[in-house]
Structure 1
Amino acid sequence: MDINRISVTITGGASGLGAGVAKLLASKGAKVGILDLNADLGEALASEIGATFARCDVSDEASAIAALDALEAKNGTARVLVNCAGIGTASRIVGRDGPHSLAAFERVIRINLIGTFNMMRLAAHRMQALEPLADGERGVIISTASVAAFEGQIGQAAYAASKGGIVAMTLPAAREFSKIGIRVNTIAPGLFKTPLMNELPDEIQASLGASIPFPSRLGSAEDFARLAASMIEMSYLNGETVRLDGALRMQPK
């Protein structure tokens, strides 16, 4: 699919990996719609790159529908959805203070996994009404998992479960949507320089980067965005989860 002039929706697009995708796709001529809970960051980025912003809680049906309606009124129905919204948490299943908070586990699943599913179903429903392109393609959906889906560390039970669910959902979604010309893929990033990572001291960031086999550095939002753009453009790539991690394999802790 040619990125130029198509409408794109990016959840979690106000910062981090989502912002990297928004910037790159806007530079390629896409009509970018940014969805995020942070209105200040979202509106600032939208103004910077000529995009459209709508506030959205991806885990809430009414909020997601209203946000998609707002973007559609400005940019038309999106042919591409990139799911980048998500949160992380760290807690042992049984720790010094007792068992893992059930509410905290549910919150991670709600935002990361249910939020991804919510946006996927709503976007695909709209995409199916679009006229197919020359190759029969109507849309592309890209979600964000993590290497934690495969090698979750101690303390990552909730996060790994949410990201593992996204990986497991990718192929059945791709198979179901094949009849309407919508491709579904997932990116599983490793250690990336995100706003959360930036909160760590520089020496810890440097140590984490050095632990990656090659290239020995933290991934960047630009790395993630380039892979997302390639997934949009490569029409034969479907039903796949691609690790983006410099050959990193996470240790137990």
Structure 2
Amino acid sequence: MLIEGQSVLVTGGGSGLGAATARHFAGEGAKVAILDFDLGRAQAVAGEIGGVAVQADVGDAAAVGAALDEASRQLGSAPRIVVNCAGVGLAARIVGREGKLSFDVFEKTLRVNLFGTFNVMSHAARRMMELEALENGERGVIVNTASVAFEDGQLGQAAYAASKGGIAAMCLPAAREFARYGIRVMAIAPGLF
């Protein structure tokens, strides 16, 4: 898909990989919306690249839907390109010192990383399915961010590795589901940076 002139949504675009991704797409001539939990950071990057900023907790399906509606309104159309970079990297042993369990960390990490990716993918795909197909039949592309940690998680990364493994595992079934609508789904698995 040609990037120039396309509407793009980047989650977690207020910092790190998401901010770099938003800058790249803007540099290629795309209209970029940044969805981030921290609206101030999203607005700072959006201001730098001439994009728009919307706020949402990706773990909240209703908030994600409202944010995508607002991003689509500001961009002039639903995004054809969505890159899910929002995530947390909380570290905790499964059983920590003095027997403390870390289910709270596990639950939050999966809610943000895995459920958040699923929420954004679901809402974005529904909107992409309603877009007019491009000349080649393509309607959009969704890129989800896993991590090498899903195959090589380190001590204290059980929650993070599980969340990123879930993202990698849902890629193929999601790609198969949306292929007939001209929507590609892929996952990337970055290492340390």
Write the distance in 2 (CA, Å) between the matches of 1:60 and 1:137. 29
> 2:109: which partner in 1?
108
> 1:174: which partner in 2?
175
User: Counterpart of 1:31 in structure 2: which amino acid?
Assistant: K
Summarize the alignment of residues 49-68 of structure 1 with structure 2, pairs less than 5 Å apart.
49-68=49-68
Write the distance in 2 (CA, Å) between the matches of 1:70 and 1:5. 19
> 2:35: which partner in 1?
35
Secondary structure of 2:88's counterpart equals coil
Write the distance in 2 (CA, Å) between the matches of 1:126 and 1:4. 20
Summarize the alignment of residues 142-161 of structure 1 with structure 2, pairs less than 5 Å apart.
142-161=143-162
- Give 5+ residue unaligned stretches, structure 1: 193-253
User: How far apart are residue 44 of structure 1 and its match?
Assistant: 1.3
> 1:13: which partner in 2?
13
Structure having the higher Rg? 1
- Give 5+ residue unaligned stretches, structure 2: none
> 1:93: which partner in 2?
94
Write the distance in 1 (CA, Å) between the matches of 2:126 and 2:103. 32
User: How far apart are residue 134 of structure 1 and its match?
Assistant: 1.3
User: How far apart are residue 122 of structure 1 and its match?
Assistant: 0.5
User: How far apart are residue 104 of structure 1 and its match?
Assistant: 1.5
Could you tell me the TM-score, scaled by structure 1's length? 0.74
Secondary structure of 1:97's counterpart equals helix
User: How far apart are residue 95 of structure 1 and its match?
Assistant: 2.3
Write the distance in 2 (CA, Å) between the matches of 1:174 and 1:22. 23
Write the distance in 1 (CA, Å) between the matches of 2:19 and 2:102. 31
User: Does the 8 Å CA contact 2:33/2:51 hold for their aligned counterparts?
Assistant: yes
User: How far apart are residue 97 of structure 1 and its match?
Assistant: 2.4
Secondary structure of 2:141's counterpart equals strand
User: Does the 8 Å CA contact 2:13/2:22 hold for their aligned counterparts?
Assistant: yes
Q: How many residues align?
A: 192
**Which of structure 1's runs of 4+ aligned residues deviate more than 6 A?**
none
> 1:138: which partner in 2?
139
Write the distance in 2 (CA, Å) between the matches of 1:77 and 1:39. 20
> 1:234: which partner in 2?
none
Q: Note the aligned Cα RMSD (angstroms).
A: 0.9
User: Counterpart of 1:104 in structure 2: which amino acid?
Assistant: V
User: How far apart are residue 99 of structure 1 and its match?
Assistant: 4.3
> 1:4: which partner in 2?
4
Secondary structure of 1:20's counterpart equals helix
Secondary structure of 1:176's counterpart equals helix
User: How far apart are residue 102 of structure 1 and its match?
Assistant: 1.3
Write the distance in 2 (CA, Å) between the matches of 1:5 and 1:70. 19
User: Counterpart of 2:127 in structure 1: which amino acid?
Assistant: R
Could you tell me the TM-score, scaled by structure 2's length? 0.97
User: How far apart are residue 100 of structure 1 and its match?
Assistant: 2.8
Secondary structure of 1:180's counterpart equals coil
